[in-house]
Every structure is written in C-alpha cells, then in structure tokens.
A and B are shown apart, each in its own frame.
Chain A
Amino acid sequence: MKNKKIAIRFFTICEWKKEEEYLREEHKNGWKFEKLNFLCCYHFKRCEMEDVVYQLDYNVNVSDKNEYIKMFNDCGWEYIQDFFGYTYFRKPVSEMKNDTEEIFCDDESRFQMIKRVFKGRVIPLIIIFFFVILPQIFLQGNLNGKANHILFGIFIVMSVLYLFMFVWFFYNLYKYFKSSYK
C-alpha cells in the first residue's frame, strides 16, 4: 500500500475554513498532512485514523517567530509550516478540554485575522486591478496593432477574474459574519 500521496487543491482567499476542513477530513481517513508547496500540492503520509483539528493563522507582522510558535506549542498546537503569510497548526481532538477548541476564542480576534488577510491579500489585488489592469484595458483598447488586440483580450480576461475574486471574497466574508453572529 502506498505510504505517501500528493493532492492538488486550490483554495481562494478567504477559504481557509474550507482548507482546514479538508485537512481534518484527510487526517480522519488516515492521511497526515506533511507539507504544502508553491504549486498547491498537498503532501500526505499514511497514519492512524484520528480526529485532528487543523487551523490557519494569517500573521505577517510576527516580530519573533520562535516566541509565536512557542505560545501555540504551549497550548498544545503543533506547528506545521508557513505558506505565504499563513501558518498551519494542528491539535488532536483527544487532547482538547472541549472538542470545539480553535486558535481563536472570541469574535474580536477572528475579525482581526480577517482584517489581516484583507490588508495582506485583498488590498494588493485591488491596487493591481485599478492601477495596472484597468489602465491597460483603456490603453490597449485605443491602439490598433495586432499585439494590442491580444493584450486587450488578456487584460479583459484578467479583469473578469479579478472581479470574480473580489465578489468571492466579499461573499465569503458575508457568509462568515452570518455564521458567527447567529
């Protein structure tokens, strides 16, 4: 039987809850998450079937990484890896005092995390959209070369993708608030 597997998954911004659920499900089925690389390849290793909670934090302002990880370790959360500003942790349900434990315990800190993702991930996209993509559409649209037409098409496609991403982010945000203030 195979002892390792690699799965390719793509989670967009604001879908970290989905990603956490995915990793938890895999662990329940006996696949322990090993690492994630830049091509969105999730590496897993065979293990005992166990209910383990996975959690992601987004924190690029950590001044002392060792101290940060130490605090999570003290509280029983195992540090797995960093990935573009996200930090991955896990903790088996069997070690929890109540089985709904998470790395954040109040809405204030959950909201702070969303704010950090917004600042680190969404704002740069908004800037690129307004200062690169939109001006390029107007520029290329007004020029008549063949290359300009192709570039115009490419930027149109990109702007649609970006708009889709923004809508997706705010939709997820809305869903998140709805679920946390039930």
Chain B
Amino acid sequence: MNAHIKKVYIPMTETGFYILLCLMEENHGYNIVKKVEKLTEGEIIISPGTMYGSLAKMEKDNLIKFVREENKRKIYIITELGKQILDIELKRIKRLHKNISEVFYYEK
C-alpha cells in the first residue's frame, strides 16, 4: 500500500469510516446517509456536500469503485485497497477500545 494513501486515510474521519463500512455491499450515497443515521441512532447525519466529496475522493484513490447508475444515483462498492484500509482502521479502533477498558479497569 502506498504511503500517501495511508497518511491521508489513517486515522479516518468518522464520516469516511462509515462510508467505507457501508460500502462493504453495493450502495449509493443517499442510502449510506440513511443507513448511518439508523446505525448511530440519529447521532451522525452525513451532509450531501460531504458525502459527494468523500465518494469522489475515495473513487479517485481507488478505495471504492463505481458499479452502475440507478435513477441518477451512482452505486459504489469497496475495492481490495479499501478493505485493507478499513481493516487497519478497525484494528486501530479495537486497540483503542481495548486500552480504554484496561485503563478504566486499573483505575477502579
């Protein structure tokens, strides 16, 4: 993996992370917005400008690829590179989670 991609995407923004996660299956931008809203119980509502920019950038960087267009909505799916990035990020988040419980355990 190229160092530039790693530098840009890790650690990931919350929006970027959810977009990649939702693209483990074929999806279009608006569907991702709705899905993330549901997953986070309304905590995160991705705005269209942010969504459009993120999808375009991720497509350019080969993290996701265009599948087809339906009703003027572009459908994307994650690529191998995207999965690698997501995997690194998942490991990082798991480590954070583990460390949080460790520190709190010792403090008690």
From 19 to 36 in chain A, residues with beta carbon under 8 angstroms from any chain B beta carbon are none
* CA distance in complex: A68, B28 (Å): 12
Digitize A3-23: 1 where CB-to-B-CB distance is under 8 Å, 0 elsewhere. 000000000000000000000
Does B33 interact with chain A (Cβ within 8 Å)?
Answer: yes
A67: chain B residues within 8 A (beta carbon): 69, 72-74
* CB-defined A-B contacts under 8 Å, sample of 12: A59-B52, A61-B56, A67-B74, A71-B29, A71-B51, A71-B52, A72-B48, A97-B45, A103-B48, A104-B47, A108-B15, A109-B54
The answer to whether B15 touches A105 (Cβ under 8 A) is yes
B33: chain A residues within 8 A (beta carbon): 74-75
Count A-B pairs with CB separation below 8 Å. 72
Does B50 interact with chain A (Cβ within 8 Å)?
Answer: yes
The answer to whether B47 touches A66 (Cβ under 8 A) is no
Does A121 interact with chain B (Cβ within 8 Å)?
Answer: no
The answer to whether A106 touches B50 (Cβ under 8 A) is yes
From 120 to 146 in chain A, residues with beta carbon under 8 angstroms from any chain B beta carbon are none
Interface residue range, chain A: 20 to 34
Question: Secondary structure of the B side of the interface?
Answer: helix
Also in contact, A57 and B14, with CB within 8 A (given A67-B69, A70-B73, A71-B30): no
Which residue of chain A has its CB nearest to the CB of B45? A97
* CA distance in complex: A108, B15 (Å): 10
Tell me the smallest distance from the CB of A59 to a CB of chain B, in Å: 8
From 44 to 73 in chain A, residues with beta carbon under 8 angstroms from any chain B beta carbon are 55, 57, 59, 61, 64, 66-68, 70-72
Q: List the 10 shortest-distance A-B pairs measured between CB atoms, nearest first.
A: A103-B49, A74-B30, A109-B50, A105-B47, A70-B72, A75-B48, A72-B48, A104-B49, A71-B48, A105-B50
Does A95 interact with chain B (Cβ within 8 Å)?
Answer: no
* CA distance in complex: A148, B83 (Å): 64
* CA distance in complex: A68, B74 (Å): 10
B46: chain A residues within 8 A (beta carbon): 105
The answer to whether A57 touches B45 (Cβ under 8 A) is no
A88: chain B residues within 8 A (beta carbon): none
Does B2 interact with chain A (Cβ within 8 Å)?
Answer: no
Contacts beyond the supplied A67-B69, A74-B29: 6 A-B pairs with Cβ under 8 Å: A55-B49, A67-B72, A67-B74, A75-B33, A102-B47, A108-B13
Does A81 interact with chain B (Cβ within 8 Å)?
Answer: no
* CA distance in complex: A174, B74 (Å): 36
